[in-house]
Amino acid sequence: MSETPGMPDPQGTVADAVAGNWVDRYAPAWSRPYLRLSRADRPIGTWLLLIPCLWGIALAAMSDGFRAWDLWLALSCGVGAFVMRGAGCTWNDIADRDIDAQVARTRSRPIPSGQVSVRGALVWMVLQALAGAAILLSYNSLAIALGAASLGLVAIYPFAKRFTWWPQVFLGLAFNWGALLAFAAHAGTVTVGAVALYAAGIVWTLYYDTIYAHQDKEDDALIGVKSTARLFADRSRQWLWGFMAATVLLMALAVVLTPLHGVWAPLVALAGVWAMGWHMVWQMRRLDLDDPASCRAGFLANRDAGLIAALFLAVAALV
């Protein structure tokens, strides 16, 4: 007999994880609950945390070119995104354990399903945060300070849905901080262009996380959890189109405000912004906000949208 959707699986798998993911197939049995707690079986969050970092590196390099240091910066941001996303998700699940137990999609997560204790989760969170700190300490002093400042945003986010209809703003503030941090790690400063890039990332997060929140809108309404999906309701598509336009305009502004070397750099960079925008248009044309599967697919598609922009920005720094 098949499992009831959203109920804890005897094997410990999580309801919204991709079937046959590497954690379920290859990770040692003792490590699986902790890797699931870190969402290692669902890598989209790591991508969405890393992509603004890649934007920041490329935008900074468009002024003075890439350096050998930037290879370490990109690789370390990748590892840092993995461990800090894991630490953030662990903290989120600790804070949300009672809410998660009431939502079909999340009640199979390690804490509400009993696979990991709260104490074990706290220890795991600290270990991941220490790994992230070790990476951060290899950067310059401004980047280190920015990294430390982000902890307040990470701490607040899980509680935002309890006191505001706009928890996605807090997620955007936290998830896109890497654009500022990585820019500072390359350039040693934060410019107005970097701030515009950060703002573009925040609005982009409002776009994709509103889509994501539509998966849970019925459960959220029953238990009183706030989100932009519930706030916008039948007007969500209009808001999503607005967020999409604002993302493209702010990212284009970031390019315009950044002193660029070469003649072709701004054209290539703006082409990348345009291409990202068209990918988001493609998402919107396929999106059905009343179908959780369509919402999940639309949310996941934003990895490719963000990587398109990152690729064009990197090429712009090379021409």
Distance CA 141, CA 74 (A): 18
Largest CA distance in the chain: 64
Percentage of the chain exceeding pLDDT 90: 73
Half-sphere exposure of 212 (CA within 13 A, CB side): 17
Q: Rounded to the nearest 5 degrees, what angle is found at the Cα of 190, between the Cα atoms of 175 and 133? A: 50
**Which of the 8 DSSP states describes residue 55?**
H
pLDDT of residue 218: 86
Question: Across residues 31-52, what is the average pLDDT?
Answer: 93
Distance CA 307, CA 276 (A): 8
Ramachandran quadrant class, 114 (left: phi over 0; alpha: psi -120 to 50; beta: rest): left
The CATH number fitting domain 34-318, selected from 3.40.1010.10, 1.10.357.140, 3.30.830.10, 1.20.58.220:
1.10.357.140
Could you give the dihedral angle defined by the CA atoms of residues 110, 111, 117 and 122, in that order, rounded to the nearest 10 degrees?
Answer: 100
**Alpha-carbon Rg of the chain, whole angstroms?**
19
Question: Across residues 141-148, what is the average pLDDT?
Answer: 97
Question: Across residues 130-150, what is the average pLDDT?
Answer: 96
* CA 104, 109, 114, 118 torsion-angle sign: negative
Q: How confident is the model over 94-134, as pLDDT tens digits? A: 988 888 788 777 788 889 988 999 999 999 999 999 999 99
Half-sphere exposure of 154 (CA within 13 A, CB side): 23
Whole-Å CA distances, 164 to 108, 158, 318: 26, 11, 43
pTM, to two decimals: 0.90
> In the structure encoding, which two tokens stand for residue 244, read together?
């999409």
Ramachandran quadrant class, 104 (left: phi over 0; alpha: psi -120 to 50; beta: rest): alpha
Where would I find the H helices in 96-140? 97-100, 118-136
Q: Are 17 and 296 in contact (CB under 8 A)?
A: no
CB-neighbour burial class of residue 316 (10 A; exposed 0-12, middle 13-18, buried 19+): buried
* CA 59, 64, 68, 73 torsion-angle sign: negative
Whole-Å CA distances, 234 to 42, 216, 289, 291: 29, 15, 9, 14
Asked if residue 9 has pLDDT above 70, the reply is no
Domain ranges of the chain: 34-318
Asked if residue 6 has pLDDT above 60, the reply is no
Q: How confident is the model over 189-241, as pLDDT tens digits? A: 999 999 999 999 999 999 999 999 999 898 888 788 899 999 999 999 999 99
- Lookup result for tokens 């609950």: 33
Mean pLDDT of all residues belonging to the chain: 91
* CA 77, 82, 87, 92 torsion-angle sign: positive
Asked if residue 38 has pLDDT above 50, the reply is yes
